[in-house]
Every structure is written in structure tokens, then in C-alpha cells.
Structure 1
């Protein structure tokens, strides 16, 4: 039944570990294991029973809302968006610096680095708008 435990842990990975979360996970796993045992008694193979139980389990979001389980704060998503923006700024800066070096080292009489630099500049711009959207979602 390790597969059921792994499946439930995957569903609950966006929730912080707390006593309430652990109790809910243990209860769900116990219920699913009982269903698997019942299906095996009815004549299904264990693999088929596990697959059927997982498919019939449904959406975890309803359970999360019903149980009022603690969630990670929205600041975590904004922090990840900010880190993505910083990473994209540094990454695009390094790529542009490399292209400028290649341009002036090999073909100093032709200025062509502008074209790839323009293309690379879209990466941090998209990350900026992603961060901006996350900030607006946090206010609303």
C-alpha cells in the first residue's frame, strides 16, 4: 500500500505539516486501504483495486476546504515569483554579456548583438508581469 501513501502525500504536498494534516492523511489512507481490501475480497487483483480506489477518490480540494486545513501563505508564491524574476534578470544579463563578447571579439565591424539581446530580454519581462500578477492576486 505504499502506492496509496505516496499518492496521498503527493496530493497534500502543498500543505504544511501539522497535526491536523497528519491526522487527515492517516484517516484517508486508512479508508483507501479498507476499500482496496474490500475490492480484493470481491475478486479484483490488488493492482486493479488500488487503481480503482485512486480513480474513485476524486478531488482533494473539496476535502481541504471542508477540513479547513492550514495552507502555505500566499507570500510563498510571491517569493517564488520574485526569485524567478531575479534569476531571469541575472540569466539574461549573462547571456547578453556573452553575446556582446562574441560579437565584438569575432566581428567587431558588425553590430549584431542587439537582435539576440532583444529576444533574451523577453524572459525577465515575462517574469516581471508574473510577479506583478501574483502581487495583485494577493491584494484582491
Structure 2
């Protein structure tokens, strides 16, 4: 039965490991083992029974295509935290640029505070969006 397991592992080696693919793999493996047991009960040798069962299994290209198309969806809360990190970096760069312009061109007037307050709302809004999505994921 090790030959059957190796064959099934080879068929599923390029398919992403998901719950659905693991269940399908176990179902096919169990089906082949049952088929080998039936063929051996009919008088075939173990090697002949394994080969016949594998040949009768046929081509699994349709199943493999269906399982390889199935992708794991990234949770929205994870994406939201990524967007929050992006907004923090973006806001820091914008405020840094404004601060440079302020210091370079008008060092006597500190006007950078006013646009900085506006830019800070971006990461703040993203932070509360992350909290809201995380709250939905927990409930």
C-alpha cells in the first residue's frame, strides 16, 4: 500500500495544501486501498491489484485543476493591518517632506503643524478600520 500512497502524493505534490485538498487526497487513497483489497480477494497478487487500481483511477487532471484553482483567501483583518502599516509609513513620509520644506524655505514660521494634523487622520482612520474588522472576525 506504500506504492499507492507514493502515487497519490505525487499526484497532489503541486496542489496547494488546503482542507479540501487533504480530504480529497484521503478519500482517493481510501478508495484505492479498498479497490486493491477487492482485487486481492478476487485472486490477484498485491502488485497486480495495485497497478490495476491505479490504472482504473484514471487521469485526475479535472480534479487537480479544480483543487489548484482553490486558493486560501487572506482575511480582511490581515489586509487591513497591512493597509494601516502603509498609511503610517505614507503619513510619516508626507509629514517629513512637509517638515523639510518648512525648515528649508521658511525656518522662522512653523506652518507644518497644520497640514500634519490633516495627514495624521489617514493612519488614524485606518487604525479604527482595523479594529472594526478585527472585532467582526472575533465575533
**TM-score, normalising length: structure 1:** 0.49
Larger Rg: 2
**TM-score, normalising length: structure 2:** 0.49
